[in-house]
Structure 1
């Protein structure tokens, strides 16, 4: 095994997409894993995963300050429909610790451009400075702002709200949408975390053990994120942290979902289990597994065919949901 700090583990190497391996060896293998160094906020300045596509040009971009965070709305070109633009609320990944309002600019500007929808990013507060429930509270505040003020601020159709992201906060937003009586036509849990009690010894989710040494989101990195955001283990089973523990009555109200999971991702089996749980409660769900793919490929859509496929499928899922609503 190479002595580079982020060299691909020999258990994982033959399972990965060769396109990803080439990029990793050239641009990631030399990076020191963030979870192995003492915490400092400057860690957030580390480079993102390489290979993302450029931000699309849209009609307008509007930053709006909320009580504890900021949101950014990408607004389509042209004249809105009489009932207003549909809206996608997107919550960036980063283990509640990394990332910011710019993290998903490429993906959500594409959603805005191709689906003629207002795409909204949430700059939620980050751990460890702001542990649970800060990220959930900010996500819900963003949803409420869209529902109550979106029509006035950016010609939103508040009866067509989809929620997506690489963060477990989106499940909370989906459930809150039901309380607001927003139709919430779809949700898009791409490469998502569903159960904060999972571990390498957990027989429910074999991918934790099988992918414990994977790239981008190893067991060590996942536990680092968990301990940053959820320092009290007593909170790990709360539905806001582990949606799979929500009551059947609540989960049955979740809107139709597209769940994209990666085959070489520690979180793969959680996403599959969540999809099966929703299906058992009568929710319309499509689960797709992206072969030989690690975590974070959505941000590598310009460099990886499999990353582009996940992005394409996600854009299509949102567009189809808006058309059907």
Structure 2
């Protein structure tokens, strides 16, 4: 199907905004644009009784982490928790662009959300973001009581580049004794850094649908200028052995150049015996989750993700 009416309207407005700017945008300009879009098109910020900012020691500097807790008493064994990594091509996005999204997931799922503000490119290149993710996971594994976390019910997740980080982190956890992840939540994940138009979705939707192949190329060059884009630690699409990964929720978007790679990855997970919930959202584009205040399909995605997250976070019977 074609783009739905809401998505067409948002895309037309964004096109008009970009027409007034000189392209390509510098990272600082892209970040301002990302925040403006989140403010304009994102969900209203759900009020929560407890939102706390932490700083976790990282390999290069302290890593800001924001904890969102449901409006009820802390469970005896700690909260089931989603460790969330924002999207933005490893270059844009932060705690503020995804604040409304994380609040919504927390409120709708009944799960604590820990949002991680990992280092971004070009200031910090590969594997900085992935290293920060591991540092935060290690910190909560060593002191779960400090973060009020039930280590038996931890899910990793994120949108776009955040989905990439989540998969790499989940794979790094295979065989660990101190933590066994309950799930991985992947919203239109960017699993392969190469922007080559070598899939039908990249050929069909790689220009004029929000995320251009030229954007992916710019982000990949900024994050991994050594061009080691086929390494599984940068592009988890190339992970050979997936057995041992936790159950997954995979959301793909019809008019997204990354659609095919997300769906192939979901199929590979299922083929290797991993429980997978896969949904494709029609008529819309990449980043619809952070524009869910204006695009219903983005909100439907978050509702489905929250429902899955709630189920994944239930105590084992």
Q: Structure 1 length normalisation: TM-score?
A: 0.88
Alpha-carbon distance in structure 2 between the residues aligned to 1:179 and 1:106? 34
Residues 1:262 and 2:262 are matched in the alignment: no
2:121 equivalent in structure 1: 127
Residues 1:183 and 2:173 are matched in the alignment: no
**Can you give the 5+ residue segments of structure 2 that lack an aligned partner in the other structure?**
none
Displacement after TM superposition at 1:28 (Å): 4.3
1:310 equivalent in structure 2: 301
1:157 equivalent in structure 2: 150
Give the direction of change, closer, same or farther, for the CA distance of 1:34–1:173 in structure 2 (3 Å limit). farther
Displacement after TM superposition at 1:77 (Å): 2.5
- Tell whether the 8 Å contact from 1:192 to 1:267 is kept in structure 2 after alignment: yes
2:55 equivalent in structure 1: 65
Q: Deviations over 1:167-190 (max 9, x none)?
A: 211112212333434231111110
Alpha-carbon distance in structure 1 between the residues aligned to 2:106 and 2:90? 24
Question: What is the aligned counterpart of 1:208 among 183, 188, 202?
Answer: 202
Alpha-carbon distance in structure 2 between the residues aligned to 1:161 and 1:34? 42
Displacement after TM superposition at 1:25 (Å): 2.0
Question: Which SS does the other structure have where 2:184 is aligned?
Answer: strand
Matches for 1:213-292 after TM superposition, within 5 Å:
213-233=207-227, 235-248=228-241, 251-292=242-283
Deviates more, 1:112-121 or 1:35-44: 35-44
Alpha-carbon distance in structure 2 between the residues aligned to 1:213 and 1:35? 18
2:138 equivalent in structure 1: 144
Displacement after TM superposition at 1:35 (Å): 9.4
Question: Which SS does the other structure have where 1:253 is aligned?
Answer: coil
2:9 equivalent in structure 1: 22
Question: Which SS does the other structure have where 1:165 is aligned?
Answer: strand
Question: What is the aligned counterpart of 1:80 among 67, 74, 82?
Answer: 74
Give the direction of change, closer, same or farther, for the CA distance of 1:96–1:32 in structure 2 (3 Å limit). farther
Alpha-carbon distance in structure 2 between the residues aligned to 1:258 and 1:40? 30
Displacement after TM superposition at 1:38 (Å): 5.4
Question: Which SS does the other structure have where 1:29 is aligned?
Answer: helix
- Tell whether the 8 Å contact from 2:194 to 2:217 is kept in structure 1 after alignment: no
Displacement after TM superposition at 1:81 (Å): 1.5
Q: Report the RMSD for the aligned CA atoms in angstroms.
A: 2.0
- Tell whether the 8 Å contact from 2:105 to 2:302 is kept in structure 1 after alignment: no
Deviates more, 1:61-70 or 1:281-290: 61-70
Displacement after TM superposition at 1:192 (Å): 0.5
Alpha-carbon distance in structure 2 between the residues aligned to 1:129 and 1:97? 9
Pairs aligned (count): 305
- Tell whether the 8 Å contact from 1:290 to 1:310 is kept in structure 2 after alignment: yes
Deviates more, 1:256-265 or 1:108-117: 108-117
Question: Which SS does the other structure have where 2:196 is aligned?
Answer: coil
Question: Which SS does the other structure have where 1:178 is aligned?
Answer: coil
Alpha-carbon distance in structure 2 between the residues aligned to 1:179 and 1:90? 22
Residues 1:169 and 2:181 are matched in the alignment: no
Residues 1:39 and 2:26 are matched in the alignment: yes
1:11 equivalent in structure 2: none
